[in-house]
């Protein structure tokens, strides 16, 4: 977690997003929010509750149900000097805006040879474990992390939410800000008061260890940490790294850890094939193969289209802290 001064407030992740957006709206007249039901309803998770009363419909924009143009209009606003924060109500609904994110936002600066820029944030709740069924549970990061011109952040702790969202809003280029739904109210933590930023591309070593490096992000960071703490009791020492930022990704933190522990387990909720773990594995194989004492392992979602609504289908899709602990034990034993 970021440095916590005496001057902190305990918040959950919803409150951290909300407080950060509020401060941004207060301090920068160029910041506006657009999305479905962000006005009177205050967003489906109440993140923007009461904003429209304070900042008005001009800055808190209830859009038509039209995701391509939610992003596309934000692109135009950004090109014209505003600092829009576009919201996609659930990550599952981001597909209609794929063109605007990948074909437009990510390429505005590049295609205009730097004449135009696109400083905007796309916030969206993602992830499962909330009985969200097929189309309110997906992870989307792997679909976008292939795209040069985009930055992608996926914080897990309230203090990181605040620091990274501040950075994302200040960033001169488009940033996707992924919020894991299950962590929204589940995860509480101390958040420093006042304005601060956390640089993109900096992972956080949550727990030091010597026998295995575990790299994760999102909800699974919390479960991996839980598993690693449990293994302490068995005399197993696991290092847990929270990526926080997916693109750019912190190579140094991963390599330093792997060179120390000589074993790497990557854990993510998104499915395995072509996922974030694939890129990390390839990077470690290229850069640190001879430091490894065991094959790299990935514990990921299965390669099925999505988790189901029925509890057994959701549970089968998700990895549990117990499964994570098992994978860690096996790796350490290898």
Partner 1 sequence: MASTDTATGTLERHGLSDDQLRAIFRNMLLQRQLDNRGFQLNRQGKVPFALGSEGHEALQAGAAMAFNRGSDILAPYYRDLGLCLGIGLTAYEIMLSIFARAPDHNGGRQFPNHYSSKAAGLMSFSSILAAHLPHAVGAAYAIKYRGEKGRAVLATCGDGTTSEGEWHETMNFAAVHKLPFVMLVENNEWAISTPLEKQMAEPQIWKRAAGYGMPGRRFNGFDPIATFAAVKEAMDRAREGGGPTLIEGTCYRYLAHSTDDNDMTYRTREVVMERRKQDPVPAFEALLVEHGVLTAQDVAQMRKDVLRDTNEATDAAEAQPYPTPADLYLHVHEGAWQPWQS
Q: Does 82 bind partner 1 (CB under 8 A)?
A: yes
User: How many chain residues bind partner 1 (CB under 8 A)?
Assistant: 53
Q: Does 305 bind partner 1 (CB under 8 A)?
A: no
Q: With beta carbons less than 8 A apart as the criterion, state whether 183 and 216 touch.
A: no
Footprint on residues 141-200 left by partner 1 (CB under 8 A) = 148-149, 151, 172-173, 200
180 in active site = no
d(CA 221, CA 128): 14
Binding mask 209-238 for partner 1 (x = CB under 8 A): ------------------------------
Q: With beta carbons less than 8 A apart as the criterion, state whether 33 and 21 touch.
A: yes
Nearer to partner 1, 168 or 328 (CB): 168
Tokens read off for 45: 């998770």
d(CA 316, CA 264): 24
In the sheet where 238-242 sits, what is the strand order?
A: 204-207, 238-242, 212-216, 264-271, 297-301
Footprint on residues 244-263 left by partner 1 (CB under 8 A) = 245, 247-252
Cis status, amide bond into 248, omega within 30 of 0: yes
Q: Does 274 bind partner 1 (CB under 8 A)?
A: no
Tokens read off for 107: 């390429």
Please identify which of the residues 136, 180, 222, 268 carries the catalytic annotation.
136
Strand 31-35 with 83-87, pairing: parallel
Site for partner 1 (CB under 8 A): which residue of 201, 207, 278, 313?
A: 201
Residues that bind partner 1 (CB under 8 A): 32, 58-59, 63-64, 66, 68-69, 71-82, 84, 96, 99-100, 103-104, 107-117, 148-149, 151, 172-173, 200-202, 245, 247-252, 283
What is the set of active-site residues? 136
């Amino acid at each position: 977690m970021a440095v916590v001064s005496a001057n902190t407030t305990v918040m959950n992740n919803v409150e951290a997003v909300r407080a950060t957006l509020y401060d941004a709206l207060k301090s920068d007249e160029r910041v506006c929010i657009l999305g479905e039901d962000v006005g009177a309803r205050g967003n489906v998770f109440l993140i923007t509750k009461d904003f429209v009363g304070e900042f008005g419909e001009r800055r808190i924009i209830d859009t038509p149900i039209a995701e391509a143009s939610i992003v596309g209009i934000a692109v135009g606003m950004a090109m014209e000097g505003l600092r829009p924060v576009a919201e996609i109500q659930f990550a599952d609904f981001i597909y209609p805006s794929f063109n605007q994110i990948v074909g437009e936002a990510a390429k505005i600066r590049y295609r205009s040879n730097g004449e135009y820029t696109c400083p905007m944030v796309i916030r969206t709740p993602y992830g499962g474990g909330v009985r969200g069924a097929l189309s309110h549970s997906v992870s989307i990061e792997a679909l976008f992390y292939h795209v040069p011109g985009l930055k992608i952040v996926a914080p897990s702790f309230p203090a990181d939410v605040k620091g990274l969202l501040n950075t994302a809003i200040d960033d001169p280029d488009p940033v996707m800000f992924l919020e894991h739904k299950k962590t929204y109210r589940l995860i509480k933590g101390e958040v420093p008061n006042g304005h601060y930023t956390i640089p993109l591309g900096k992972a956080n070593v949550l727990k030091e260890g010597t026998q295995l490096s575990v790299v994760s992000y999102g909800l699974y960071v919390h479960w991996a940490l839980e598993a690693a703490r449990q293994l302490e009791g068995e005399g197993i020492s696991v290092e847990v790294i929270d990526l926080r930022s997916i693109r750019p990704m912190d190579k140094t933190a991963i390599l330093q850890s792997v060179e120390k522990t000589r074993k790497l387990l990557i854990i993510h909720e998104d499915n395995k094939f072509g996922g974030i773990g694939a890129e990390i594995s390839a990077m470690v194989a290229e850069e640190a193969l001879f430091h490894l004492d065991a094959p790299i392992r990935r514990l990921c979602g299965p390669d099925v289209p999505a988790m189901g609504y029925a509890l057994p289908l959701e549970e089968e899709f998700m990895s549990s802290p117990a499964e994570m602990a098992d994978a860690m034990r096996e790796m350490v034993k290898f």
